[in-house]
Structure 1
């Protein structure tokens, strides 16, 4: 057997492995990211104040990540923990974790439905494409823009459906999910603009620590010093914490950062457009929340738009070449 004959199966196996790994990261991200919206609802109905519960959620996650980091450091040595790197990760965590989830949580508390918060989150693909193309010089294709626009239209129909069918939230509350979209979009682009040399688990520890400080501050503003108290160890509270820490935090943000590294910001944003349908399935199964006609149409448009954007994203070589020309 010639050298070329031996290399072809190896290349094919490597390509299959990368494809399977990519599908696993994308699927895990959509599933776990959508679980965060359900976690918001679980925290609202638990016995603990939602802001305090979220503060302890991220503190516990940061401590667990810190223990993981300690084992990692023993095996591979301590990474360069410069103050600039710590502040960079803290700012990203404040945006993509803290502001993003705080705004979503306040929206749910104000009466915005779980499914609608995800539908408004479908605005992020268009926002990320605009920011990544203009700021980072990332390549884009016309069908990507069309797909993002269709997903945005779907989000608009979802808002209309929520006004007609539920009407429980004041007008200003619908601006909170929009704020969360702006925060996570900016944080995503900052992640790619200045890549960090720190291991993923270290970055997560720093980001979750920053988010916990933000939520503890919000809890104190809402409830005074009582906002610092640990949540009661009841069945509902422990179930909400387990869901939020394991599935939404480690799963959602772990896959989020892995996806940014593997796919880039625009592809991850397009994957986010797939989360409304997943979230509505979660909400229907767990809370008996059913979307209206316009909400269903909005979900379908979101799926169509996300599919167009994902199928027409530039290849790595094409994007690299166009970016180099723009620079």
Structure 2
């Protein structure tokens, strides 16, 4: 027969083992390196040369978010690239970012599993749909539609979260720049540069702008063709302009509209994917009040798209570049381009847009 002390010891040991079993039952599964395959693929997308290494230009073109400037991105690149060779291994980049994943490590694993699960379901649907009964086909269509709606809902939540933290970061940086004359001057110089030409590595140049004609009942529709002809003339080697009529002086208080032109060399085997993304982006952009006109033109001989946007002013254009739909579109089509996109902007007096075509 056990003594009282022995019975107490047995109870304590039993409770200890029970708690350990519960911790093992509810602890999250450990993640191995193969669980981060989707994370590794992200950095391979940035490697346009497919040589396993990233130059600073490739790094900047992929990671520019409109918040960090070129100098700050260069500093980050140098901090990650311990070899200081201006060609960083994508594996090194993946390892460095992996240290800061936090809760998003589980998110990436879930995305990887979700991707495999959805593709598997779609493959089975493709094989079995035609031979299915009417009710089975109906349910399949319903489930596909609802799956898509759920994914869109998640994407909208992510867009809102991303837009909020980027706006918050932008305000904080603006407040800091107000107290730092040197940084303020650099910001002004960047704005002056963007008003003439945006380079492919500029933070704003990573955002694709596209277009649709506006409705005929808008007050701007009468001038759409005239501005398109003007833009076509500007693309020529020796553009011919009609002489100015009336007083050539310009009112310094007159507002200016902004015309943006982007050239996008789309890879031939990504045409369908690009067109779907383009159509979705057009629908979201065309309803913005500050966008006066949007149009797109494809150069079939070069497999490239030329996209135009006309905005009420430069500020509305920049706000659009920071919007969730613009950034989402850029992230979607980044794999579709053979070479970095090129963007040019020009400003015209707003009265030119309001001129009577007759």
Point out the structure with max Rg over C-alpha.
2
Q: Which has the higher helix share?
A: 1
Instruction: Tell me the TM-score normalised to structure 1 length.
Output: 0.26
